[in-house]
Amino acid sequence: MTYRYRFLSLLIVDIFIVTLSIFLSYFFRFYGDIPDHYLDQFYINALLTVCICTALLIAFNFYNRMWKYANVEDVLLIFGAVMAGNALSYIFTYYILGYVVPLSVFVLSFETMILLTGTIRLFWRVHVKLNRRNTPDPTLRKALIIGAGSCGTLVCEELKRHRTLQPVAYIDDDPRKHRLRISGIPVLGGRERIQAAVELYGINDIIIAIPSAPQKAIHDIIEQAKLTTAKLKIIPRIDDLINGKVTINTIKDVDVEDLLQRDPIRMDQRQISNYIEGKTVLITGAGGSIGSELCRQIVQFHPSSLVLLGHGENSIFSIETELRRLVPHIRIETVIADIQHATRIENVFQLYRPQVVFHAAAHKHVPLMESNPAEAVKNNIIGTKIMAECADRNRVERFVLISTDKAVNPTSVMGATKRVAEMIVQTIGAHSQTKYAAVRFGNVLGSRGSVIPFFKQQILGGGPVTVTDPRMYRFFMTIPEASQLVIQAGSLVKGGEVFILDMGEPVKIVDLARDLIRLSGLEEGRDIDIVYTGLRPGEKLYEELLTNEEGISKTVHNQIFIGLPGNLSVSELELKIKRLEKLLDGNADQIKDALNYIVPSYRNQALQSN
């Protein structure tokens, strides 16, 4: 039914209802024998009421509403429009004819209009409901909804409307809802009933519909649901509930990020705005996972301009296009450059005059850097040195290096080069007006080269899923979490700190692989296997967040800590780096030996085996 046809149909029905209501009110008032002079009043009153009521209903967008979703607000709208229409026509009729409409006529017409107008809409809603509530389709997958609140009810209605899944029951921890029926399906009990419900009703899908719940509660529910054979889905954002955007497309599969038992980051907006708002911010590696997310987060604090520096043109173009669409009022500058080229980087600083620098550009793939140590040194050490020195010469206010937990007691070339990068910003910062700091955190879920996309690819390919060692643990954080804490750490910089982010509890890699298999609706051993391949070059079983020389102190933010810097000599570090540079054309063992000379805690596995 087109909008025009629907509008005209409802308008004609309402005109008929208003006219009939006015007539019946006169008819019953005078017991079926309406005096002649009141007939004239009836015609005038009916005409005025029809015109005024329909005009009010159109003005209030009454005919733009979907009555199968009618609520209390819609009922109040009917009441207000009919009351106002009757009152105005009562007054105008008096002024035109000089005598009043009988009060009983006014009351009767008002009551009849409300009754008939509301009944027609209610009948339509009941008609839609009855048509929807037919026999269950045996071909549809059965769904168990976790959460019988506003969001869960909306999800249930959406599933019934689109008939993509068959909702059969709710689970809710509120004992007041237990044994009740909401939207026609029962509330079975609390989360402890999830397994029993899946077995009893043959559930295929579990939908978690409590977007306002704390992350720990979500984590506990997922752990319960993982014990079943059902596939897990979730409503991801509370904003969707607030904005009324809960639709079938909102429901997504539960991902590994949902398993992290952490609540959202609380950012100090004022602190961050103080050092970013109105400033020119330069981000290196802006096309990468962390760099691009830093861009998305930083524009929320209204910098005057954002300079995106990267080596890959496609990734820089992608984030530039996204930002220009999201924040057209902020000046976006793009720079394709290699941080190893000192002259080019100096020109960039001279041209754009950045006041805040986030240095996210780095080579981070551990096994690849073991095979290509010279490239790791050039990018992670020489490139960082060039960036840090340019920031000093050009009086940048703050310089934040993105580091890694692999820099702590490193066993890999990548980790050792990032530790040297930390040392560079600490030593330069000790004698500079620029405030330097490094931010150290663990693995980032979903970033390029990380284990999650690799596991997902293996699962899609039918397996096996390869895990290096069943004893391996790693710290994990989502990309938005890491980026938000990096930005927050930038507000705490005083000079020379290594900020350490609270990564939560370490996660066993094999458990991560099992969770991914399970969340994909598969079963380990039956549908897909896990194969152990052994540690790769440069890898270790456990990552650490502090070196032996560093103590730790708290900051004003409960998820950011400071590793206290050791005593570093600028001249000594400079000499060691120059010695390392001279060896870049030599063999890999010489480079690793030179790295070990700069970072004594570097445990080069190849040298140890010799």
CA distance 601 to 594: 13
Same-fold call for 141-254 versus 275-446+476-503+544-605: yes
Per the annotation, the verdict on 385 as an active-site residue is: no
Burial of 582 (0-12, 13-18, 19+ CB in 10 A): exposed
- Residue 541 or 276, more confident: 276
Residue 401: CB atoms within 10 A of its CB come to 27
Render pLDDT for 424-477 as a digit per residue (tens, 0 to 9): 998 888 888 999 988 887 776 656 656 777 787 888 888 788 888 888 877 677
Grouping H, G, I as helix, E, B as strand and the rest as coil, residue 534 is coil
What phi and psi values does residue 199 have, to the nearest 5 degrees?
A: -70, -40
Does residue 545 surpass a pLDDT of 60?
A: no
pTM for the whole thing?
0.63
The residue from 160, 406, 540, 576 that is catalytic is 406
Does residue 34 surpass a pLDDT of 90?
A: no
* pLDDT-above-90 percentage for the chain: 21
CA distance 26 to 22: 7
Render pLDDT for 76-108 as a digit per residue (tens, 0 to 9): 777 787 888 888 888 888 888 887 888 888 888
What CATH architecture applies to the domain 141-254?
3-Layer(aba) Sandwich (3.40)
Which pLDDT value is given to residue 610?
Answer: 42
CA distance 464 to 331: 47
CA distance 388 to 361: 13
Residues 6+ apart with CB under 8 A from 551: 563, 564
Which pLDDT value is given to residue 252?
Answer: 59
Nearest to 285 by CA among 261, 308, 254: 308
Cα–Cα distances (Å) from 527 to 197, 256, 260, in that order, read: 24, 19, 25
Ordered by start, the domain boundaries in the chain are 3-132, 141-254, 275-446+476-503+544-605
Does residue 361 surpass a pLDDT of 90?
A: yes
Greatest alpha-carbon pair distance for the chain in Å reads: 119
Which pLDDT value is given to residue 566?
Answer: 57
Domain 275-446+476-503+544-605: which topology?
Rossmann fold (3.40.50)
